[in-house]
Structures are given as structure tokens and as C-alpha cells.
């Protein structure tokens, strides 16, 4: 496993995206903004798992990324339903 320039750039951009999303999660003025930020964090985490799978050259992490993405989607839908129920 050797990390090249492209991999370093990709991991840096994923880290920067994570920091910006955490900032939105922290100062989001409304609850829907925070839920979108949480969803974005889950997408970034899934992308990071895929990059790790490419770096380690194994398909096992791709299965983990797929499972994590599905569970994150279900979690965000549950949060959205809970907020929708509070608004009524």
C-alpha cells in the first residue's frame, strides 16, 4: 500500500468537507439544516470508507460502505419523520 499524491488530495478534500459540514452542524440555525448536515456527514463517511477500500485494495470495505450508506439513509429518514411529527 503506497499513498500517492492523488490519494493525499482526495483524503484532504474529504477532511475539509467533513470540517465544513461539522461547522454547519454546529451553527445551523434551524433543525432541518442540522439534519441535512448529518446526512452530508454520512455521505462523506461512506466516501471515506470507499477510499480506504481503494487504498487497501480490498472489496470487503465496499460492503461495509454499502451497509453504512443504507443505515445512514434509514437514520436520516427517521430523523426527518420525527421532526415532521413535532411540527404538526
Write the CATH number for 69: 1.10.287
Quick one: pLDDT at residue 22?
95
Alpha-carbon gap, residue 24 to 11, rounded angstroms:
20
**Is residue 3 scored above 90 in pLDDT?**
no
Quick one: pLDDT at residue 1?
67
This prediction's pTM: 0.85
Domain tally, the chain: 1
Quick one: pLDDT at residue 72?
93
State which residues form the domain around 39: 5-87
pLDDT tens, position by position, 6-58: 989 999 999 999 999 999 999 988 888 888 999 999 999 999 999 999 999 89
- Tell me if 4 sits within 8 A of 56, measured CB to CB: no
R_g over Cα of the chain: 15
Amino acid at each position: 500500500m503506497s499513498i500517492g499524491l492523488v490519494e493525499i488530495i482526495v483524503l484532504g478534500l474529504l477532511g475539509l468537507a467533513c470540517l465544513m459540514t461539522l461547522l454547519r452542524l454546529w451553527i445551523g440555525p434551524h433543525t432541518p439544516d442540522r439534519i441535512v448536515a448529518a446526512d452530508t456527514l454520512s455521505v462523506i463517511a461512506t466516501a471515506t470508507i470507499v477510499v480506504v477500500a481503494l487504498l487497501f485494495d480490498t472489496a470487503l470495505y465496499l460492503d461495509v460502505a454499502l451497509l453504512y450508506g443504507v443505515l445512514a439513509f434509514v437514520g436520516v429518514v427517521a430523523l426527518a419523520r420525527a421532526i415532521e411529527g413535532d411540527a404538526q
